[in-house]
Structure 1
Amino acid sequence: MKRSTDRILTTHMGSLPRPDMLADLLVAEAEGKPVDAARIPALTDEAMDYVVRRQLDCGIDVGNDGEMPRSTFFGYITGRMSGFGGQSKRRPILDMQQFPTWWKNYQARGVRRLNVYGFPAAIGPVRYRSMDGARDELYAFHRARERQSKQFLETFVTAVSPGFAACSLQNQYYESHEAYVFALAGELKLEYEFIVDAGHVLQIDSPDLGIERAGYFQDEPLPKFIAAMEMHVAALNQALADIPADRVRFHACWGNRDSPHVNDVPAPDVLPVCYQVKAGALCLPFANPRHSHEVDAFRTQKLPDHMALVCGVVESTHNYVEHPQVIAERLERAVRAVGDRERVMAGTDCGFGTIVGDTQVSEDVVWAKLAAMRDGAAIASKRLWG
């Protein structure tokens, strides 16, 4: 995995806005409506060409395919695995219960087209049908990169963690939540290794470490939540057993939505669990106003020597374009907390298209934010390296 050896490198957290025609098809497909599926591969290729080129134009060093063929960052596995059907019955997060006016207004804005609280559930043994879905996605990404005049310094591909998949695609078959998590881990291991074998850094998306304190485990005391997250990480590590840690980066977050977030678990409470992951980098969101101060936790809860920090310095749920000077200050603060400029990279808090059809941040603003991150990283690099 590349590190910031002579300047602060830039990356993002995976999902990027999809063109309207592709988004409309993926939304309809996810809702079970009849679609012309034969159109999706060509539209995906066009979209991937575009987002790869735009990332390179914005100065992204470590880029990806924008998750163009996926409807969500987690639900995509229901199309690649058997064993899913029916509907999950996910409880509303605490913010929805505590701030009903906010939730009503959020829904009225129409920024989220898919109902993420009614995805399929596990109704039988979960098994990959084949690696065709992953293979098609990676090959499309390869073709898109071949058509560019510039190249990324490094590439990454995302995959959902077994823990978050189990919380979102809920268990209606296995004898326990733990049994389900480990069953998912056993299957996801195949996709994880497929991604790394193709030459990419694997990004594990595991928002359960943040979101589920106020979601799936909202009725449990903090120690029980932490114990559950340690079990999730143990299952993940089992899936990562045959992958070198420096080919994995681990992304956790508190939910990619502009909600109050007053029920979020503090970062210092979950950092010890994050440190248990077999990964070479942690990707954590510190641009948002609820958690930006918590980057200082690395002063006392030292980042393990083998890990780097991809620090969220650009927020992913609002349309303010961060000033490059603000981004530089955030990066310098992270470097002071970590104590090593080479172990800090610039990143976004989360993705900009985690759920297909999301319009929290307008597409043109996304590219402006990424360009500002490039400029902010350059300012910080000049100060840090001289």
Structure 2
Amino acid sequence: MTKIAATHVGSLPRTQETVDFIFAREKDQPYDQAAFDAQMVAAVDETVRKQVEAGIDIVSDGETSKISYATYVKDRYTGFSGDSDRNAPADLKMFPSFLERLADSGGTPTYARPQCTGDVKSKGQDELNKDIANLKAAMAKHRATRGFMNAASPGVISLFLQNVHYPTREKYLEALAEAMREEYETIVGAGLDLQLDCPDLALSRHMLFNDLSDEEFLKVAESHVEAMNYALENVPAEKVRVHICWGNYEGPHCCDIDMDTVFPTLMKTKSRYVLFETSNPRHAHEWTVFRDRKAEIPDDKILVPGVVDTTTNFIEHPEVVAQRVERFAGIVGADRVIAGSDCGFGTFAGFGSVDPAIAYAKLAALAEGTELASKRV
């Protein structure tokens, strides 16, 4: 039997105590640093324990200490200040009553999104090293043998933290790539896999670049991949995971660019593992893109399809998960498939549409279904 591994995209629900500490820091309110650090140690330990208990093979720290997967960089790098206007995705603008309902119900996260107003430089890797130490300690305690840590790609930083300092978008990307290199190398140097989150390769099409044609957008996306690959110059591809998505929110998603269109760009990323959505109602059919374009998938790529949705409290039946895994095993072979989730379950601290207990139940269904698929392929 070929054992197909189970993983997920990275972020997981945080406890209220953890969220309170994060937002105290976010809002520049007084808090005890030692108590903050102790809470992160305990929270990561519990997060890893729950993943192992659910049957997840490749675990993360749940992005526990981060306010969000992209804007955390404002706390670790110079050059960011103030705030910027929110730009709702095009699909939500098409349905203003739904957008208003989301806003009124607290269904959209609120946190600072400063602009780039100065040179982007690292403040040091102290916070990152704490995250790494917490994850590795929890892995050792709960006997998890493989772990990964998320980091923002240059492109996604440029999406959420808009540039008003560098003369061009290209120069901004160059500065971000140069600044982020050390973070990427530090994660891999610690023995962890590195996951780069890249919704800029899909989400940004209908969030920031909806005035462009698909062809024009692809040129932008290509520049993002070039910047990321440059930042990964000293990192082996076999240690890199890249996640592409169209935005982890329940919404129409009728403006999402097709996977078929962005497929060649995704395949150019310097990564062994590519993670993507294939469970939600808008993208579940796109497994056929990988079937029909199999010849264009580099031989060293391992596919990590999302086999559970992260925007609904339905718990997938393990048989559904198994069928989804088997489709991809039939395309590239079981040895080149890992089962994942569409997106994260705690993309922003204190925000998520899936109940925390249900999130872990979905991970357990993911693991059980993957086990079924392993036996059958």
TM range (shorter): over 0.9
Superposition deviation, residue 102 in structure 1? 1.1
* Aligned counterpart for 1:317 among listed residues 285, 289, 311: 311
Q: Is 2:238 the counterpart of 1:255? A: no
* Aligned counterpart for 2:52 among listed residues 56, 69, 72: 56
Amino acid at match of 2:257: V
Q: Which runs of 5+ in 1 are unaligned?
A: none
Moved more, 339-348 or 266-275: 339-348
Name the counterpart of 1:374.
367
Amino acid at match of 2:21: L
CA distance, structure 1, for counterparts of residue 271 and residue 132 of structure 2: 21
Superposition deviation, residue 34 in structure 1? 4.0
Moved more, 92-101 or 77-86: 92-101
SS in 2 for 1:127: coil
Amino acid at match of 1:227: K
Name the counterpart of 2:339.
346
* Aligned counterpart for 1:104 among listed residues 100, 106, 113: 100
Superposition deviation, residue 142 in structure 1? 1.9
* Aligned counterpart for 1:244 among listed residues 226, 236, 240: 236
- Alpha-carbon RMSD across the aligned residues, in angstroms, is 1.3
Name the counterpart of 2:20.
24
TM-superposition CA deviations, 1:99-122 (whole Å, max 9, x none): 11111122233244424xx50111
TM norm structure 1: 0.94
Q: Is 2:112 the counterpart of 1:139? A: no
Superposition deviation, residue 146 in structure 1? 3.0
SS in 1 for 2:78: strand
* Aligned counterpart for 2:68 among listed residues 65, 69, 72: 72
* Aligned counterpart for 2:201 among listed residues 197, 202, 209: 209
Whether the 8 Å contact between 1:112 and 1:357 is mirrored in structure 2 is no
Name the counterpart of 2:348.
355
* Aligned counterpart for 2:43 among listed residues 18, 26, 47: 47
Amino acid at match of 1:238: Y
Whether the 8 Å contact between 1:15 and 1:354 is mirrored in structure 2 is yes
Superposition deviation, residue 154 in structure 1? 1.3
SS in 2 for 1:214: helix
SS in 2 for 1:79: helix
Amino acid at match of 2:278: F
Name the counterpart of 1:218.
210
Amino acid at match of 2:314: Y
Name the counterpart of 1:193.
185
The answer to which structure has the higher strand fraction is 1
Name the counterpart of 2:146.
154
Whether the 8 Å contact between 2:2 and 2:375 is mirrored in structure 1 is no
Whether the 8 Å contact between 1:313 and 1:347 is mirrored in structure 2 is yes
SS in 2 for 1:110: coil
Name the counterpart of 1:82.
78
* Aligned counterpart for 1:177 among listed residues 154, 169, 178: 169
SS in 1 for 2:120: strand
TM norm structure 2: 0.97
CA distance, structure 2, for counterparts of residue 289 and residue 59 of structure 1: 26
SS in 1 for 2:80: strand
Moved more, 310-319 or 93-102: 93-102
Superposition deviation, residue 375 in structure 1? 0.8
Superposition deviation, residue 90 in structure 1? 4.0
SS in 1 for 2:181: helix
SS in 1 for 2:207: coil
Give the length in aligned residue pairs. Answer: 375
Superposition deviation, residue 326 in structure 1? 0.5
Whether the 8 Å contact between 1:80 and 1:130 is mirrored in structure 2 is yes
Whether the 8 Å contact between 1:314 and 1:348 is mirrored in structure 2 is yes
Q: Is 2:84 the counterpart of 1:91? A: no
* Aligned counterpart for 2:275 among listed residues 280, 283, 294: 283
Whether the 8 Å contact between 1:86 and 1:120 is mirrored in structure 2 is yes
Whether the 8 Å contact between 2:139 and 2:145 is mirrored in structure 1 is no
TM-superposition CA deviations, 1:222-269 (whole Å, max 9, x none): 111000000000000000111111110110100000011000000010
SS in 1 for 2:147: strand
Cα distance, 1:111–1:33 mapped onto 2, change above 3 Å: farther
Sequence identity of aligned pairs in percent?
38
Superposition deviation, residue 20 in structure 1? 0.5
TM-superposition CA deviations, 1:117-156 (whole Å, max 9, x none): x5011100000011111111111212222332xx223111
Amino acid at match of 2:265: V
Name the counterpart of 1:301.
293
SS in 1 for 2:305: strand
Amino acid at match of 2:192: H
